[in-house]
């Protein structure tokens, strides 16, 4: 049973467009929701993270929207650039007890010039 | 500051053989995690060390997998004997827990294991 479901599996966006990746979770004990960005040949790297006490967090062109009641969160990449082409993973974790990250299945984003 | 390093970057072995993966965490990071991504699927947790102790090994798939972290520094993950379904990318991550409950996990580049 996959606890964090991510969509779409792949996404093609034109340069300057908005990329949107969605995730849904089931475990209400999760209290930390990071997004990781992975380039080919590299490991995942933390991009941005949010906690459920806020509905939105923005860092530059990257924004997380969080809907606690719906148990959903999404990543928005504004003004998408070819350099944003990568695989994006949403994840969730508890602050107490089990500290492992539970990941979504990943979204391969391609930004066309 | 050096990041998390993993060795080898790629390993191709025959079914039934043994493979040992190594992870060197960021210096000073007490937490060390192993994860695995099977082709196209989610990255799945395998186990978590705090220093040299296994804090959580609930993700280990079976007893063919053995992880160690002697001295609380680098860690090894041995697969013996390897099966076809063990193929995937094995990631190591480390973190420094700062008491508040929030710790960023820094990932290594992974080891791509192919079992033929």
In this structure, what CATH number is given to the domain that contains residue B49? 2.60.40.10
- Other C-beta atoms closer than 10 Å to the C-beta of A9 total 10
Q: Which residue segment(s) compose the domain that B29 sits in? A: 5-97+105-115
Per CB-CB distance under 8 Å, the chain A contacts of B101 are 32, 95-96
Compute and round to an integer the Cα radius of gyration of chain A: 13
Min Cα–Cα distance to chain B from A96, Å: 7
**Quick one: pLDDT at residue B1?**
65
Contact A13, A19 (CB under 8 A): yes
Per CB-CB distance under 8 Å, the chain B contacts of A101 are 33, 35, 43, 45, 105
Contact A26, A71 (CB under 8 A): yes
Q: For A4-112, give the CATH class.
A: mainly beta
Min Cα–Cα distance to chain A from B41, Å: 5
Min Cα–Cα distance to chain B from A102, Å: 7
Tell me the pLDDT tens digit for each residue of B24-81: 999 999 999 999 999 888 999 999 999 999 999 999 999 999 999 988 899 999 999 9
* Domain tally, chain B: 1
How sure is the predictor about B101, in pLDDT bands with cuts at 50, 70 and 90? low
B41–A105 C-beta distance less than 8 A: yes
Whole-number Cα distances in Å, B80 to A57, B15, B66, B83, B86: 45, 10, 8, 9, 10
Which of B56, B103, B109 faces A43 most closely, judged by CB atoms? B109
How sure is the predictor about B100, in pLDDT bands with cuts at 50, 70 and 90? low
Burial class (CB in 10 A: 0-12, 13-18, 19+), A110: middle
pLDDT in tens, chain A (113 residues): 669 999 999 999 999 999 999 999 999 999 899 999 999 999 999 999 999 999 999 999 999 999 999 999 999 999 999 999 999 999 999 887 788 999 999 999 999 99
**Quick one: pLDDT at residue B98?**
61
More confident residue, A97 or B17: B17
Residue A3 in 3-state DSSP?
A: coil
Distance, in Å, from the CA atom of A45 to the CA atom of B105, rounded to the nearest integer, reads 8
Name the residue ranges covered by the structural domains of chain A: 4-112
């Amino acid at each position: 049973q996959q606890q964090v479901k991510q969509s779409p599996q792949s996404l093609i966006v034109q340069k300057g467009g908005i990329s949107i990746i969605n995730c849904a979770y089931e475990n209400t004990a999760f209290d930390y929701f990071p997004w990781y960005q992975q380039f080919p040949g590299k490991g995942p790297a933390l991009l941005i993270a949010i906690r459920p006490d806020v509905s939105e967090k923005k860092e530059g062109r990257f924004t997380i929207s969080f809907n606690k009641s719906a148990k959903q969160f999404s990543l928005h990449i504004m003004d998408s650039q070819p350099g944003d082409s990568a695989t994006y993973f949403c994840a969730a974790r508890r602050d107490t007890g089990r500290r492992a990250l539970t990941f979504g299945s990943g979204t391969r984003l391609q930004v066309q010039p | 500051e050096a990041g998390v390093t993993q060795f080898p970057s790629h390993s191709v072995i025959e079914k039934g053989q043994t493979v040992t993966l190594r992870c060197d965490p960021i210096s000073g990071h007490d937490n060390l995690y192993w994860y695995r991504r099977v082709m196209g699927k989610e990255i799945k947790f395998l186990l978590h060390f705090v220093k040299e102790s296994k804090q959580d090994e609930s993700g280990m798939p079976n007893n063919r997998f053995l992880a160690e972290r002697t001295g609380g520094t680098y860690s090894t993950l041995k697969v013996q004997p390897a099966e076809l379904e063990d193929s995937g990318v094995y990631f190591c991550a480390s973190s420094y827990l700062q008491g508040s409950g929030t710790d960023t996990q820094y990932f290594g580049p992974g080891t791509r294991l192919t079992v033929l």
